[in-house]
Chains A and B, each alone.
Chain A
Amino acid sequence: MTPVSSKLYADDVSLLMVLVDTNPYFWSSMKNTAFTFPKFISHVLAFLNSILLLNQMNQVVVIATGYNSCDYVFDSSTSSMQRAECLLEKLEDFVDKDESLSQEDSVDGIGFSLLSGSLSMALCYIQRVFRSGPLHPQPRILCLHGSPDGPGQYVAVMNSIFSAQRSMVPIDSCVIGSQHSAFLQQASYITGGVYLKPQVSDGLFQYLSTVFATDLHSRSFLQLPRPVGVDFRASCFCHKNTIDMGFICSVCLSIFCKHHKKCSTCGSNFGEARKQDPSASDQRTSDGS
C-alpha cells in the first residue's frame, strides 16, 4: 500500500540540485578559520533533510564539485537514500578519488573547482527529469561555492547559465569563500536566482533555511536578498582574463583582449576585412557588453 499521498501535486514542490564545493585546496585554506569542511557539511545535511521534510514530493540531488572532477553523491529519489546522511560515504570516496587525480600536477594557491562541470551535470539531470515525467518538478540549482572563479571555465559556465535561463531554472548562489564570485553573480542575475554571501559563515544553516529553502512558488510573496552589484565583466577567450575593454568578433561575438588576425572561434578573417573597411568587422566593446 502506498502512503496516503492523495495529492499528486503541490504548489511548493521542488527539485533541488545542490552543488557542493569540495575543492581540497580551498578547504585547507579555511582550516585556520572557525568554518571547516565538516562543519559546513553538517549545516548542509540539516538543510537537505529539512527540504526533504517539507514536502513528500521534494527531491534533492547533490553534486560534488571537486578540483579535477565532479560527480553525483546523493539522490533522494533512489530508495536506498532516504536521508541526506547517506551522502557522506559517497562524498568521502569522491574526495579521495579527486585528490588522487590532482597529485599529478602541482597547484599554486587555492586553485579552482570545476563549477562548469557540475553546472552542466545539474542541467542534464533536470533535462532528463523534464523529459521523463509528466509533472513539472519546479527545479532549481543551489551552488554552495567557495573557490575563486576559474577564468578557464568562463565560456562553459556562461553557456550553462544561458542554458539554465532557457529552461527557466534559477541558479541560487551561496558564496562561502572570502571573495565574491562574478560567475555566480551573473548566473543568479541572469536566471532570476538569489545570490548571497553570508556575513557570518557559522550561521550557514540559518541563511540556507531562510533564503535558499524558499520554493519557487513562495518566492513571489517573500522578500529575498536582491542583487546589489553584479560584476558583468566578461573574460577574453584568448587568455581567459577578465577585461574591461576588448575586441569582439562581429560574426560570432567572441571576446578577445587583443587584436587578432583571425577569430579563434569561428575562423573569420579580420585582417583583410580591416584593410577594406576598418570599421566594419572589428568593434570595440565597452564595459558590460
Chain B
Amino acid sequence: MPQVKIVARNFMDMVASLPVMKLDMLYDNSFICEAILRSLPPLAKKYVLQMLYIDIPITAKSMEEWVLPDGFSKHKVAIDRLIQLRVMTETFDSGILPREPMPSNITVRLPSLEELEAYAVEQWELMDTNAQLWYIIREYITNAEERGVDSADLIAFLLELSFHVTGKAYNTNTITDLQRSIIKDLSDLGLIKLQQGRKESWFIPTKLATNLSISLADTTSRKQIVSFLQQNAHPRVAERIPSVPENVTDQIRLWESDLNRVEMEPAHFYDEFPSKDVFEAACDFAREYGGLLWEDSKRMRLVVKADILTEMKEFLRQIAITADVFLNSDWEKDLPEDPSGRFDDFKDFVDSNSDICQWIALLCVLTQGCCILLATILRTLGQVKENSHEYEGEYAEPSAPLLRPPELPPNPLYPYVIGEPVHIEPHSVYKNV
C-alpha cells in the first residue's frame, strides 16, 4: 500500500504545522496576525471576532449552541483550525484564566500599501521556490495586458522556455522582438541569464525557467475553478447565493483532495507470465524487496517500483531458464554455445551415472518431506500445550491471525486536517489566547 502524504498546499497549512514556540513568536507581528485571521474559515473568523473581549474560558458545549445542526461540520473545522493555529487553546480546568487576547492589537491599525508589499515579499520567502516563482509569474502574466503584451504570447513563450535545456546558451537572434523584451524581465527574476558576446547575445535558461512547467501545473486549484465559475456565471445564476451550488463546490473540493492524494512513482509493468507459479514467484520476490505496488493474480499482471528493476530483471531471467528447462523438451537449444565444452562433459557425467544422481535427488525430496512432517507435529504439540491452560467449558478465544492488517487511518479527504487530528473531549473548555 503506497504511503499517503499530506502536503502543505498553502502558506497557512505550513504555518499551522509550525512548532508551538515559532508559532507564538509569529503572533508578535500584527501583519501576520492579520494574514492568519484572514486565512481562517469564515466561521472561525467570526468566532475570533465575537470572542475578542471575552476573557473567560467558554465551554465547548456553549460554543456548539452557536451553530445550526447543518453547520456542525463547519463548526468543527473552524474550531480545529483555531486550536491548530493556537488562536484558542483547549483547557480542561475552567479555573485557569487565558492569556492576553491575540488579535487585540490588530484592530488598532491596518497596514499601508508599502507595508503590505514588504509583508508580501516576506511571505514569499517562506514558501518554496516554485510557489514563489508561480506567484511572481502569475502577477507578471496578469499585468501583461497593461504593458501591451498579449498574455497568450507570454504564456506560450514561458512554456516554450521550460522545454529549453538548463545551462545551454541560445542565440537571441532566434527569438522575436517581443520575446526579447520578455527575456529582459525574466533575467531580473533569475529565470535566465543574459550573455553578451561581441556581435551576438545569448540567453541561458536557469533551473527556475526549466522548472516553470512544474509550477504552472498547479494552477488548477479548486479556488480558481470556483472563482472562474462565479465570475463567468450567467447574470441570472450570478444573482443566486451562492452562485455556484454547494454540491458542485464540494465535488470540486473532493476532486482536488483526490488529486493531492495520488503520488507519482516510476514503475514497471509485467504481464504475460508463462505460468501461475512463475507469476507468484515474481510477486513474492517483489514483495520481499518491498517493491510490489500492484498485482492482479487473475490476469497475471504485476507492477513493481522502478527501484528494484535490476533485481527483478535478474530474478526473472533465472526463473525463465528454470521454467524453460522443465517445460521445453528442446531446452538445450536455448542455452548459448559453450566453447569450453565443459557443459557437455558435465552432461555426459550425469548421463553415465544416472542411477546415483536419481538416488541423490530422491534423497533430497525425502529429507524435505520429513522436515515438513516434523514441523507439523511440533506445531500441533505446541497448540495442545497452550490450550491446556484454558478452563474447560469456556470458549477459547480465537487465536489472533498471524498477520493482522495494519489499522489504517481514515482517508484524509477533509482538506483542513493536517497531521494528527485533534480530538475534542465533550466536556473540554476553550479559551482564547
List CB contacts (< 8 Å) of A200-215 with chain B. Answer: 205-206, 209-210, 213-215
* Contact assessment for B49 and A54 in the assembled complex, using a CB-CB cutoff below 8 Å: yes
* Contact assessment for A136 and B239 in the assembled complex, using a CB-CB cutoff below 8 Å: yes
Residues of A within 8 A of B230 (CB): 9, 135-136
Task: Knowing A209-B49, A210-B50, A213-B50, say if A168 contacts B241 (CB, 8 Å).
Answer: yes
Q: Which of A113-121, A218-226, A255-263 contacts B (4 or more CB under 8 A)?
A: A218-226
Q: Give chain B's interface residue range (CB within 8 Å of chain A).
A: 35 or more
Asked if A53 is at the interface (CB within 8 A of a chain B CB), the reply is: yes
* Contact assessment for B110 and A83 in the assembled complex, using a CB-CB cutoff below 8 Å: yes
Residues of B within 8 A of A228 (CB): none
Least CB distance from B126 to A in Å reads: 11
Q: Is the interface of A mostly helix, strand, loop or mixed?
A: loop
Asked if A107 is at the interface (CB within 8 A of a chain B CB), the reply is: no
Task: Specify which of B49, B116, B223, B238 lies most central, judged by the most chain A CB atoms within 10 Å of its CB.
Answer: B49
Query: Closest A-chain residue to B235, C-beta based?
Result: A130
* Contact assessment for B53 and A205 in the assembled complex, using a CB-CB cutoff below 8 Å: yes
* Contact assessment for B106 and A53 in the assembled complex, using a CB-CB cutoff below 8 Å: yes
Asked if B345 is at the interface (CB within 8 A of a chain A CB), the reply is: no
Residues of B within 8 A of A7 (CB): 223, 227
Least CB distance from A144 to B in Å reads: 18
Whole-angstrom distance between the alpha carbons of A12 and B138 in the complex? Answer: 24
Query: Closest A-chain residue to B112, C-beta based?
Result: A82
* Contact assessment for A9 and B50 in the assembled complex, using a CB-CB cutoff below 8 Å: no
Query: Closest B-chain residue to A167, C-beta based?
Result: B239
Task: Knowing A4-B135, A138-B241, say if A53 contacts B107 (CB, 8 Å).
Answer: yes
Residues of B within 8 A of A55 (CB): 38, 45
Q: Give chain A's interface residue range (CB within 8 Å of chain B).
A: 35 or more
Whole-angstrom distance between the alpha carbons of A222 and B50 in the complex? Answer: 13
Residues of B within 8 A of A1 (CB): 117, 120, 139
Query: Closest A-chain residue to B71, C-beta based?
Result: A221
Least CB distance from A245 to B in Å reads: 38
* Contact assessment for A222 and B226 in the assembled complex, using a CB-CB cutoff below 8 Å: no
Least CB distance from A173 to B in Å reads: 19
Least CB distance from A13 to B in Å reads: 9
* Contact assessment for B38 and A56 in the assembled complex, using a CB-CB cutoff below 8 Å: yes
Residues of B within 8 A of A2 (CB): 139
Asked if A104 is at the interface (CB within 8 A of a chain B CB), the reply is: no
B184-212 Cβ-contact flags toward A at 8 Å (1 or 0): 00000000000000000000000000000
Q: How many A-B contacts at CB < 8 Å in the complex?
A: 107
* Contact assessment for A54 and B120 in the assembled complex, using a CB-CB cutoff below 8 Å: no
Task: Specify which of B37, B50, B113, B120 lies most central, judged by the most chain A CB atoms within 10 Å of its CB.
Answer: B50
Whole-angstrom distance between the alpha carbons of A213 and B34 in the complex? Answer: 17
Least CB distance from B383 to A in Å reads: 58
Task: Knowing A136-B238, A213-B50, say if A9 contacts B231 (CB, 8 Å).
Answer: yes
* Contact assessment for A206 and B45 in the assembled complex, using a CB-CB cutoff below 8 Å: no
Query: Closest B-chain residue to A51, C-beta based?
Result: B49
Whole-angstrom distance between the alpha carbons of A52 and B231 in the complex? Answer: 23
Residues of A within 8 A of B125 (CB): none
Whole-angstrom distance between the alpha carbons of A270 and B239 in the complex? Answer: 42
A127-157 Cβ-contact flags toward B at 8 Å (1 or 0): 0000000111010000000000000000000
B44-79 Cβ-contact flags toward A at 8 Å (1 or 0): 011001101100000000000111101100110000
Partner of A222, one of B46, B116, B117, B139: B46
Whole-angstrom distance between the alpha carbons of A99 and B418 in the complex? Answer: 59
* Contact assessment for A221 and B231 in the assembled complex, using a CB-CB cutoff below 8 Å: no
Residues of B within 8 A of A83 (CB): 109-110
* Contact assessment for B46 and A218 in the assembled complex, using a CB-CB cutoff below 8 Å: yes
Residues of B within 8 A of A53 (CB): 34, 37-38, 106-107, 110
Query: Closest A-chain residue to B117, C-beta based?
Result: A1
Least CB distance from A97 to B in Å reads: 29
* Contact assessment for A222 and B45 in the assembled complex, using a CB-CB cutoff below 8 Å: no
* Contact assessment for A50 and B107 in the assembled complex, using a CB-CB cutoff below 8 Å: yes
Least CB distance from A121 to B in Å reads: 22
B257-268 Cβ-contact flags toward A at 8 Å (1 or 0): 000000000000
Task: Knowing A11-B242, A50-B49, A55-B38, say if A221 contacts B117 (CB, 8 Å).
Answer: no
Residues of B within 8 A of A223 (CB): 65-68
* Contact assessment for A4 and B50 in the assembled complex, using a CB-CB cutoff below 8 Å: no
Asked if B43 is at the interface (CB within 8 A of a chain A CB), the reply is: yes
* Contact assessment for A220 and B239 in the assembled complex, using a CB-CB cutoff below 8 Å: no
Residues of B within 8 A of A54 (CB): 37-38, 45-46, 49
Least CB distance from B366 to A in Å reads: 75
A37-74 Cβ-contact flags toward B at 8 Å (1 or 0): 00000000010011011111000000000000000000
Asked if A216 is at the interface (CB within 8 A of a chain B CB), the reply is: yes
B227-252 Cβ-contact flags toward A at 8 Å (1 or 0): 10011000000110111000000000
Can you list 9 A-B contacts (CB < 8 A)? A11-B42, A50-B49, A134-B231, A213-B50, A216-B241, A221-B68, A223-B66, A223-B67, A223-B68
| 4 other A-B residue contacts (CB within 8 Å) besides A83-B110, A220-B70, A221-B43 | A6-B135, A6-B138, A12-B42, A53-B106
B residues in contact (CB < 8 Å) with A: 34, 37-38, 42-43, 45-46, 49-50, 52-53, 65-68, 70-71, 74-75, 106-107, 109-110, 112-113, 116-117, 119-120, 123-124, 135, 138-139, 223, 226-227, 230-231, 238-239, 241-243
A residues in contact (CB < 8 Å) with B: 1-4, 6-12, 46, 49-50, 52-56, 82-83, 134-136, 138, 168, 205-206, 209-210, 213-218, 220-223
In the complex, the 3 A-B pairs of residues with the closest C-beta atoms, listed nearest first: A221-B71, A12-B42, A9-B227
